[in-house]
Amino acid sequence: MTQPLLEVQDLHTVFSTKEGTVKAVDGVSFELHSGETLGIVGESGCGKSVTAMSIMRLQRPGRIVGGKVMFKGQDLTRISEYEMREIRGREIAMIFQDPMTSLNPVYRVGWQVSEPTRLHNGWDARKALSSAVNMLGRVGIPSASARARDYPHQFSGGMRQRAMIAMGLTTTPQVLIADEPTTALDVTIQAQILDLLRDVNREFGTATILITHNLGVVAGMCQRLIVMYAGKVVEAGPTADVFANPKHPYTWSLLRSIPRLDAERHEPLKPIEGLPPNLVDLPSGCAFHPRCVFRVERCARDVPALIQVGGTQRAACWVTQAGTELKGV
Amino acid sequence: MLAKYIARRLLASVVVVLGVTLITLLLMDRTRGAYVPGIDFNPSLRPEDIARLRADLGLDRPFYEWYLSWIWGVLHGDFGHSMIDGSTVMSHIVDRLPNTIELTATAILIGMVVAVPVGVIGALRRGSKTDHALTVVSVAGFAVPQFWMGLMLILIFSVTLEQHGLPWLPSSGAYSPFNGGDVLDRLQHLVLPATVLSFFYVSTWSRFIRSSMLEVLSQDYIRTARAKGMSERRVVYLHGLRNALIPLITLIGLELPGLVSGGLVVEVVFGWPGIGRLAFERALQYDYSTVMGVTFFATLLVIAGNLLADLLYGVLDPRIRYG
pLDDT in tens, B86-107: 889 999 989 888 888 888 889 8
Q: What is the pLDDT of residues B219-248, one digit of tens each?
A: 999 999 999 999 999 999 999 999 999 888
Residue A127 lies in a domain: yes
Report the CATH number at residue A172.
Answer: 3.40.50.300
Whole-Å CA distances, B103 to A197, B97, B158, B317 = 59, 10, 19, 29
Closest chain A CA to residue B230? A85
Residue A329 has pLDDT above 60, yes or no: no
Q: What angle do CA B202, B203, B208 make, to 5 degrees?
A: 90
Residue A89 has pLDDT above 70, yes or no: yes
Q: What is the pLDDT of residues A91-119, one digit of tens each?
A: 999 999 888 899 999 999 999 999 999 99
- Pick from A193, A222, A251: which residue ends a domain? A222
CB atoms within 10 A of CB A24: 24
Output the pLDDT for position B254: 74
Does residue A155 sit in the same domain as residue A209?
A: yes
Instruction: List residues bridging with A159 in a β-sheet.
Output: none
Does residue A91 sit in the same domain as residue A163?
A: yes
DSSP state of A257: T
Distance from the Cα of A160 to chain B's closest Cα (Å) equals 12
Distance from the Cα of A169 to chain B's closest Cα (Å) equals 11
- Rounded Cα–Cα distance for residues A40 and A52 (Å): 10
Burial class (CB in 10 A: 0-12, 13-18, 19+), A4: middle
| Cβ pair A43, A226 in contact under 8 A | no
Question: Which residues of chain B have a CB within 8 Å of the CB of A88?
Answer: 226-229
Which amino acid type is present at position A60?
A: R
Does residue A217 sit in the same domain as residue A240?
A: no
Q: Pick B179 or A167 by higher pLDDT.
A: A167
Output the pLDDT for position A114: 96
- The mean of the pLDDT values for chain A is 91
DSSP letter for each residue of B19-75: HHHHHHHHHHHHH-TT--TT----TT--HHHHHHHHHHHTTTS-HHHHHHHHHHHHH
- Rounded Cα–Cα distance for residues A205 and B19 (Å): 70
Q: Do A106 and B242 touch (CB under 8 A)?
A: yes
Residue A66 has pLDDT above 80, yes or no: yes
Q: Do A103 and B224 touch (CB under 8 A)?
A: yes
Q: Which of B228, B231, B248, B317 to mutate to test the interface with A (most CBs of A within 10 A)?
A: B228
Residues 6+ apart with CB under 8 A from B5: B322, B323
Distance from the Cα of A262 to chain B's closest Cα (Å) equals 39
Residue A20 has pLDDT above 60, yes or no: yes
Q: Do B318 and A151 touch (CB under 8 A)?
A: yes
Tell me how many domains chain A contains.
2
List of E strands, chain B: none
Give the closest residue to A82 by CA, choosing from B176, B296, B231.
B231
Does residue A177 sit in the same domain as residue A49?
A: yes
What is the average per-residue pLDDT within A164-171? 92
Residues in chain A: 329
| Cβ pair A31, A4 in contact under 8 A | yes
Residue A283 lies in a domain: yes
Output the pLDDT for position B62: 84
| Per-residue confidence band for A143, with pLDDT thresholds at 50, 70 and 90 | very high
Whole-Å CA distances, A97 to A59, A103, A164, B131 = 16, 12, 10, 33
- Pick from A182, A201, A222: which residue ends a domain? A222
Output the pLDDT for position B41: 65
Distance from the Cα of A223 to chain B's closest Cα (Å) equals 26
Size of interface A-B (CB pairs under 8 A): 69
Cis check for the bond before A61: say yes or no (omega within 30 of 0). Answer: yes
- Rounded Cα–Cα distance for residues A112 and B71 (Å): 54
Record the pTM: 0.82
Does residue A109 sit in the same domain as residue A183?
A: yes
| Cβ pair A255, A216 in contact under 8 A | no
Residue A110 lies in a domain: yes
Residue A153 has pLDDT above 80, yes or no: yes
Question: Which residues of chain A have a CB within 8 Å of the CB of B239?
Answer: 104, 107
Does residue A37 sit in the same domain as residue A103?
A: yes
Residue A151 lies in a domain: yes
Does residue A244 sit in the same domain as residue A303?
A: yes
Distance from the Cα of A313 to chain B's closest Cα (Å) equals 32
- Rounded Cα–Cα distance for residues A73 and A93 (Å): 18
Output the pLDDT for position B44: 76
What is the average per-residue pLDDT within A120-139? 94
Distance from the Cα of B122 to chain A's closest Cα (Å) equals 18
The order of strands in the sheet holding A224-229 is: A92-95, A175-179, A207-212, A37-41, A224-229, A232-238, A313-315, A307-309
Residue A329 lies in a domain: no
Give the closest residue to A88 by CA, choosing from B232, B125, B218.
B232
Q: Which of B220, B230, B318 has the CB atom closest to A96's CB atom?
A: B220
Q: Do A104 and B239 touch (CB under 8 A)?
A: yes
Output the pLDDT for position B309: 84
Phi, psi of A10 (to 5 degrees): 50, 50
Which of A29-33, B31-35, B38-42: highest mean pLDDT? A29-33
Q: What is the pLDDT of residues A268-312, one digit of tens each?
A: 777 888 888 888 888 999 999 999 999 999 999 999 999 999 889
Question: Which residues of chain B have a CB within 8 Å of the CB of A120?
Answer: 229
Q: Which of B221, B227, B229 has the CB atom closest to A104's CB atom?
A: B221
- Rounded Cα–Cα distance for residues A313 and A238 (Å): 7
Question: Which residues of chain A have a CB within 8 Å of the CB of B246?
Answer: 106
Contact residues, chain A to chain B, C-beta under 8 Å: 56, 58, 85-90, 93-94, 96, 98, 101-108, 115-116, 119-120, 151, 153, 164, 167
Please report, rounded to a whole number, the percentage of residues in chain B having pLDDT higher than 70.
94
Q: Which of B224, B230, B235, B317 to mutate to test the interface with A (most CBs of A within 10 A)?
A: B224
Distance from the Cα of B27 to chain A's closest Cα (Å) equals 46
Which amino acid type is present at position B69?
A: S
Instruction: List residues bridging with A30 in a β-sheet.
Output: A8
- Regarding beta strands A37-41 and A224-229, do their DSSP bridges make them parallel or antiparallel, or are they unpaired? parallel
Output the pLDDT for position B216: 95
Q: Do B221 and A86 touch (CB under 8 A)?
A: no
Contact residues, chain B to chain A, C-beta under 8 Å: 219-221, 223-231, 234, 239, 242-243, 246, 316-319
Helix count and strand count (H, E) for chain A: 12, 12
Question: Which residues of chain B have a CB within 8 Å of the CB of A90?
Answer: 229
Phi, psi of B98 (to 5 degrees): -60, -40
Q: Do A164 and B224 touch (CB under 8 A)?
A: yes
Does residue A204 sit in the same domain as residue A241?
A: no
CA–centroid distance for A109 within its chain = 25
Q: Do A106 and B318 touch (CB under 8 A)?
A: yes
What is the average per-residue pLDDT within B189-202? 90
DSSP letter for each residue of A258-302: S--TT-SS-PPP-PPPS-PPPTTSPPSSSTTGGG-TT--GGGGTS
Structural domain that includes position A296: 235-321
Does residue A131 sit in the same domain as residue A77?
A: yes
Residue A168 has pLDDT above 60, yes or no: yes
Please report, rounded to a whole number, the percentage of residues in chain B having pLDDT higher than 90.
32
Q: What is the pLDDT of residues B138-159, one digit of tens each?
A: 888 888 988 899 999 999 998 8
The order of strands in the sheet holding A20-32 is: A20-32, A6-17, A63-71, A74-75
First to last CA, chain A: 38
**One CATH from 1.10.3720.10, 1.20.58.100, 3.20.20.70, 1.10.240.10 for B92-283+312-316:** 1.10.3720.10
Q: Do A87 and B319 touch (CB under 8 A)?
A: no
Q: What angle do CA A318, A322, A327 make, to 5 degrees?
A: 85
- Rounded Cα–Cα distance for residues A225 and A236 (Å): 6
Helix H, strand E, coil C: the string for A14-55 is EEEECCEEEEEEEEEEEEECCCCEEEEECCCCCCHHHHHHHH
Q: What is the pLDDT of residues A195-204, one digit of tens each?
A: 999 998 998 8
Give the closest residue to B242 by CA, choosing from A153, A101, A106, A115.
A106
Q: Which of A56, A106, A119 has the CB atom closest to B317's CB atom?
A: A106
Does residue A186 sit in the same domain as residue A301?
A: no
Q: Pick B167 or A37 by higher pLDDT.
A: A37
- Pick from A222, A255, A290: which residue ends a domain? A222
Residues 6+ apart with CB under 8 A from A41: A48, A212, A213, A215, A218, A225, A226, A227, A228, A254
What is the average per-residue pLDDT within A46-50? 92
Which amino acid type is present at position A210?
A: L
Does residue A182 sit in the same domain as residue A144?
A: yes
CA quadruple B283, B287, B288, B293: dihedral sign: negative
Does residue A148 sit in the same domain as residue A246?
A: no
Q: What is the pLDDT of residues A183-196, one digit of tens each?
A: 888 888 889 899 99
What is the average per-residue pLDDT within B27-52? 76
